[in-house]
Structure 1
Amino acid sequence: MLAALSIGLGIAQRTVFALPKETSASVELDTSAKVTVIDGETLNAFPRSQTVAISGARTIFAAYGRTTDVNAWIGDVSRNDITMTEEGKFVSKLTSGSGDDLPSPEGSDLWYLDYTKETALRITINVPEDVSLIIMSDGVAAAPSRVSVTWPLDNSTPWAIPLVVGGAIVLLLGLALLFWAVSHLRSARGPRRKSQKMPKLPRQPRYKPSRVRPKAIEGRPSKKAIEAPRGRRSSRTSMIAVLPVVLVGSLVLGGCSTDFLAANSPQPPPVAVASPEAADAEVTEAPAVTKPQANRIIARISAITAEADTDRDAAVAATRLAGPALDLRLANYKMRKADKTIKALSAIPAGPVELTLPQQNNDWPRTVFAIVQNDVDEEGQKFYVAVVMIQDDARSQYKVHYAITLEPGAVIPKVASAEVGTNRLSDDIGLLTIAPSDLAMAYSDVLMKDTESENYDLFEAEGDTLRVAVGLAAKKTAQKKLPSTAKLIYESALGNGQTVTLTTNDNGALVAVNLNEIETVKAVEAGAAVNAPKTVKSLLGKSLSTKGIKATYGDQLLFYVPPATEEGGKIVLLGYSQGLIAASELK
């Protein structure tokens, strides 16, 4: 019976008592809203992954991203919000908005992943509660009209097999016992001899008690009479007598012991529990991007800039570049168009991404710093490019403002992980060795004066290859090469790039700045002309000038600036990119 019960229960768990494999909810939309949103709480109504089926439009687009980012991208536009009722059914609520203009959602940098398909789309995702799913068509037509979500259920029966196996073992054991019992009965049925009768024993004389009462019993009990009786009967009797006394004593002590001990034992001091309002925990904002998201963004930027470099297309380049990085590229396109022998700039690599440092920011603009491996030489030495990307608003794409080649052997200080992110500091912060707004011109003074500069001791000279290439010694050498009929003058000015300051773990900062170095060549004798170098000629459109030529070189510089509290800490140039960005004839 036990075996049958166990096996039957195991089979029933896989058949009669089995739960469904999945559950689903669906909704039909009949609005003209262009956007449908399913928030993370609704998507996580059941645990595990979510399979979303969408249909009812010619083109179907779906993406998921951080809920705050999805809402910011949609803005004040009418939308359908899908939620789930307590009965487990989908309902849709139309939220009207004043706007109606939406860009194409495809390829936005805000999405963790996005999908596009014709007629019908089915995707399987697994998102947390702070992530929402956005569903659209092409940004012009109404959103798809049919949406359903399916969740797999845990219908596993871990006890089914143990019950069946255990029942089978019990069955085999029962059969074995049955065979043993049958064998035993058969062996017990053999021939038996009749037992012989034994002679009867003689009868013992009976004891007859005397009718005379002993004297010891008539009077007061003697000393021996009150002694505790002996033997098995006597012990049983004494136990019966003692048991009520023990019970009464235990009841009396049990009724008062708890309160007595509680009143007289030392009590532990009360523990102070801080309320959420009293907690002084620092609330940090979420990082601008995740690491996989940053990898996809950099890969897109690399592909688009490579296309722009090949076609020398300034409009395409402007979709993913801005600031100093765009200025350098546009000048190179113009020079290459005029002179085919001029080489293109180094491409922005697609990866691998070695370091991702996003800004902690729930609002805009947002900044992301990354280091990408660029190339490997024949000796196996790796070269890296540091990119600084900025997103101006929710509907804009990230654009590279700085693309800086790192110095060989540059050591990046320890920074926060991509999952935590860092802070972007103001340009006039006073917690560093020098304010970031003053950094570019202080370094320019070192390039112009070298050891005579009052800022010379602030910067680390070892490993600074830019100081060797365009420092004071290089400038003097270039001036000496000019003929006596010409004069070369050097100047510096701040570029149009943003100063980007991101904190490091030691309270220092990574600072990217833009410096413009200006070279002016003038003729010092009447009738003399100035020759323009090849690159200046291709950008200027002429090779000779009697008035003089002004050439501007843009420097993208990346520094590590130690905290002001670090004694003897020096500013280190981690990398730079330099190139001609403008040329003009003097008036």
Structure 2
Amino acid sequence: MRFVLAIISFVLAAVMIGAGIAQRTIFAEPDQAVLSTSVSTDSAVTVVDGTALNAYAGNQSLTISGADTIFAAYGRTTDVVAWVGDATHNEIGFDPESMELTDTLVRGTDSEVPDPTGSDLWLNEYSSQQQLALRVSVPSDFSFVVVSDGIEPAAGTVSVAWPLDNATPFSGPLIVGGALALLLGLAFLLWAITHMRKLRGPRRKPLKMPKLPRKPRYKLPRRSIAKPAVGRRAIGRGMVAAPVMLIGALVLSGCTSGPFSAGVATSRPTPSASATTGGAEAAVADPPAITVSQAERIIADVSKVVAAADKAKDPALLATRFAGAALEIRTANYAITTADPTLAALPVIPAGPVKLTLPQRTDTWPRTVFAVIQDDTDDTVPSIALFLEQDDARDPYKVKYAVTLEPSQKIPDVAQADVGADRLLPDNPVLRLTPTEIALAYADILDKDVNSEAYLDFDPQGDSLRTAVGPAYKASVRAALPTTASVTFGSGIGEAEAISLGTNDAGALIAVNLNETTTVAPIEEGAAVNTSGQVKALSGLAVSSKGVVATYGDQLLFYVPPAGSGGKIVLLGYTQGLVKAGEIQ
């Protein structure tokens, strides 16, 4: 019996160890799924669609080759398509029936594209020579754009690989269990050999006993044959072993997925849901224009460009990232500080951190983003609010308004950056006042203060601009002039378009451009007007017998409550500077 147990243990050990090793060798699944295709045309652009990147679940390993210089970037599919525009391009997709990548030529009117490097649409970009290999995790609604130099063919071969779960969790336990069974078999074998040796020794041959006479046979009377037993009594003890063995076999077979054990890895993967269902997830009608990471990268580049432009006083360089009222006032400041370096320059644009990002909720152009920046390393640099706009898919975001925030004011609650806000129309009736009405009403307050009809519509708390250029300031200017000259003040809507983004309470953040004019003219024959400071630097005039007109540009940021709420309009911040100066014509 001991030898039998040893043999059973050895057989069991061989089966378990063999099954464990087999799972890691001959029955092992591949560790990745790979799909590739060769681009058959000489198109300057190749788009790798998100469906191809998500043909299988997991991170994607993208390999692109076939061009001397390879540039690849990814962004939302709608943004990639918009950037490609009317250019002829190859589109790499996925066919769930054949389980292969597809290569489709989409013809357009353009055969070339501009340099995509540094585009604000991309979440990330890569470049390499001859071959580009990268590992990413791109959602199904994002795509890659691949370009060489915008003229030469973009790529020759595109390959995508996904990692597969080929782990064998039961392989180790099987091998360990087999080793234990082997040790147990050896123990049984040693036990059997030791026992057999103990039984060995001198034995005498037993004496033969005399044979006894045979007993006489008697015939028993014939009896009726008994009926077979029925029910549980009919089952003998010898019949118990078979069902027990059968149950054990069924239990073991139910725990296995292969010919040897339950540790065999899962079968080959199936395409992910995004590739086969064609977008079963609910689509967002209007996604936010950009992500937080994009906003941070854009503002960091804006800060870098502005710093270089400020140092060189280069309006052309500044225009690559500034436009509208923000460009006008900073360009004028370059001229002023060039003529008189002792005059103050405008505040710098810090690179970050970005404390607030509010993108417009849209998938079309133009696009708007509101951001608040605070330089934590320098307390002397005030918080700055930016309104940036992107006019076209291939254009960069440009700062339209750069407003210094009032220290005592607080930005109202706005939507999360991954949700975004709607841009409101200029004549939106849900607000207490339209942007044009706000600019003109506030100009009237700067001129008349408490005597203005709009005075009660605005909150005076924390509004330092009223003190800086309000009626008291204007009265001091008049008092300082000689009796031979007069001064008049005026105001009007600036050329920059107002921008409005909604807040959580149905109100809005509104930036408007207001121009204030100061005209000083002689009132006596032979009298002249002397200029000084910024007006002298910008106009180039020291004395004028005709008079001088100075135009100051105001970038104003307001919070406007919804109509009927009873709340007041709050000035959140402003930037003011001289934008024009010259002689009266």
Using a 3 Å threshold, how does the CA distance of structure 1 residues 524 and 23 change in structure 2: closer, same or farther?
A: same
Unpaired segments ≥5 residues, structure 1: 192-235, 241-280
Rounded to whole Å, the distance in 1 between the matches of 2:187 and 2:440 is 97
Aligned to 2:315: 314
Q: For residue 428 of structure 1, report the CA deviation from its aligned partner.
A: 1.0
Aligned to 2:124: 113
Unpaired segments ≥5 residues, structure 2: 1-10, 203-228, 234-281
Using a 3 Å threshold, how does the CA distance of structure 1 residues 431 and 181 change in structure 2: closer, same or farther?
A: farther
Rounded to whole Å, the distance in 2 between the matches of 1:282 and 1:541 is 59
Using a 3 Å threshold, how does the CA distance of structure 1 residues 461 and 28 change in structure 2: closer, same or farther?
A: same
Q: Is the 8 A contact 1:405 1:576 kept in 2?
A: yes
Amino acid at match of 1:335: I
Aligned to 2:477: 478
Aligned to 2:4: none
Amino acid at match of 1:61: F
Aligned to 1:287: 288
Rounded to whole Å, the distance in 2 between the matches of 1:476 and 1:307 is 40
Runs of 4 or more above 4 Å deviation: 169-191, 236-240
Using a 3 Å threshold, how does the CA distance of structure 1 residues 185 and 239 change in structure 2: closer, same or farther?
A: closer
Using a 3 Å threshold, how does the CA distance of structure 1 residues 174 and 355 change in structure 2: closer, same or farther?
A: farther
Aligned to 1:301: 302
Rounded to whole Å, the distance in 2 between the matches of 1:284 and 1:394 is 19
Equivalent runs, 1:174-573 vs 2, <5 Å: 284-374=285-375, 376-377=377-378, 383-567=382-566, 569-573=567-571
Amino acid at match of 2:169: P
Equivalent residue in structure 1 for 2:27, among 9, 12, 17: 17
Using a 3 Å threshold, how does the CA distance of structure 1 residues 186 and 76 change in structure 2: closer, same or farther?
A: same
Amino acid at match of 2:514: L
Aligned to 1:586: 584
Equivalent residue in structure 2 for 1:135, among 143, 146, 149: 146
Instruction: Give 3-state SS (helix, strand or coil) of 1:139's partner.
Output: coil
Amino acid at match of 2:295: A
Kindly indicate whether residue 58 of structure 2 is the aligned counterpart of residue 52 of structure 1. Answer: no
Q: For residue 355 of structure 1, report the CA deviation from its aligned partner.
A: 0.8
Q: Is the 8 A contact 1:384 1:406 kept in 2?
A: yes
Q: For residue 184 of structure 1, report the CA deviation from its aligned partner.
A: 7.9
Aligned to 2:73: 63
Aligned to 1:160: 171
Q: Is the 8 A contact 1:373 1:385 kept in 2?
A: yes
Instruction: Give 3-state SS (helix, strand or coil) of 1:383's partner.
Output: coil
Rounded to whole Å, the distance in 1 between the matches of 2:477 and 2:154 is 65
* Higher Rg: 1
Aligned to 1:75: 85
Kindly indicate whether residue 136 of structure 2 is the aligned counterpart of residue 125 of structure 1. Answer: yes
TM-score when normalising by structure 1: 0.80
Greater relative contact order: 1 or 2 (C-alpha under 8 angstroms, separation 6 or more)? 2
Rounded to whole Å, the distance in 1 between the matches of 2:462 and 2:576 is 17
Rounded to whole Å, the distance in 1 between the matches of 2:186 and 2:79 is 69
Q: Is the 8 A contact 1:536 1:583 kept in 2?
A: yes
Q: Is the 8 A contact 1:331 1:539 kept in 2?
A: yes
Q: For residue 88 of structure 1, report the CA deviation from its aligned partner.
A: 3.8
Amino acid at match of 1:398: Y
Using a 3 Å threshold, how does the CA distance of structure 1 residues 169 and 477 change in structure 2: closer, same or farther?
A: farther
Q: Is the 8 A contact 1:287 1:361 kept in 2?
A: yes
Instruction: Give 3-state SS (helix, strand or coil) of 2:514's partner.
Output: strand
Q: For residue 188 of structure 1, report the CA deviation from its aligned partner.
A: 9.3
TM-score when normalising by structure 2: 0.80
Show CA shifts across 1:497-523 (max 9, x none): 121111111111111111111111111
Rounded to whole Å, the distance in 2 between the matches of 1:556 and 1:13 is 71
Instruction: Give 3-state SS (helix, strand or coil) of 2:122's partner.
Output: coil
Q: Is the 8 A contact 1:284 1:360 kept in 2?
A: no
Amino acid at match of 1:319: T
Q: Is the 8 A contact 1:507 1:562 kept in 2?
A: yes
Rounded to whole Å, the distance in 1 between the matches of 2:306 and 2:381 is 22
Q: For residue 337 of structure 1, report the CA deviation from its aligned partner.
A: 2.3
Using a 3 Å threshold, how does the CA distance of structure 1 residues 527 and 30 change in structure 2: closer, same or farther?
A: same
Rounded to whole Å, the distance in 2 between the matches of 1:381 and 1:411 is 19
Q: For residue 17 of structure 1, report the CA deviation from its aligned partner.
A: 1.4
Q: For residue 172 of structure 1, report the CA deviation from its aligned partner.
A: 4.7
Rounded to whole Å, the distance in 2 between the matches of 1:481 and 1:58 is 71
Amino acid at match of 1:312: K
Amino acid at match of 1:291: V
Q: Is the 8 A contact 1:429 1:436 kept in 2?
A: no
Using a 3 Å threshold, how does the CA distance of structure 1 residues 503 and 179 change in structure 2: closer, same or farther?
A: farther
Q: Percent identity, aligned pairs only?
A: 52
Show CA shifts across 1:19-65 (max 9, x none): 22223233333422111111000111122122222222232111111
Instruction: Give 3-state SS (helix, strand or coil) of 1:303's partner.
Output: helix
Using a 3 Å threshold, how does the CA distance of structure 1 residues 150 and 237 change in structure 2: closer, same or farther?
A: closer
Rounded to whole Å, the distance in 2 between the matches of 1:397 and 1:119 is 29
Aligned to 1:228: none
Amino acid at match of 2:303: S
Q: Considering only aligned residues, what root-mean-square deviation do their CA atoms show, in Å?
A: 2.6
Equivalent runs, 1:84-95 vs 2, <5 Å: 84-85=94-95, 86-95=97-106
Q: Is the 8 A contact 1:385 1:406 kept in 2?
A: yes
Using a 3 Å threshold, how does the CA distance of structure 1 residues 491 and 30 change in structure 2: closer, same or farther?
A: same
Show CA shifts across 1:121-142 (max 9, x none): 2222110110111111111222
Show CA shifts across 1:472-500 (max 9, x none): 11221222122222212111111111211
Q: For residue 178 of structure 1, report the CA deviation from its aligned partner.
A: 6.5
How many residues are aligned here?
Answer: 502
Rounded to whole Å, the distance in 1 between the matches of 2:26 and 2:534 is 83
Q: Is the 8 A contact 1:59 1:118 kept in 2?
A: yes
Amino acid at match of 1:97: G
Rounded to whole Å, the distance in 1 between the matches of 2:467 and 2:527 is 32
Amino acid at match of 2:77: T
Q: For residue 179 of structure 1, report the CA deviation from its aligned partner.
A: 6.4
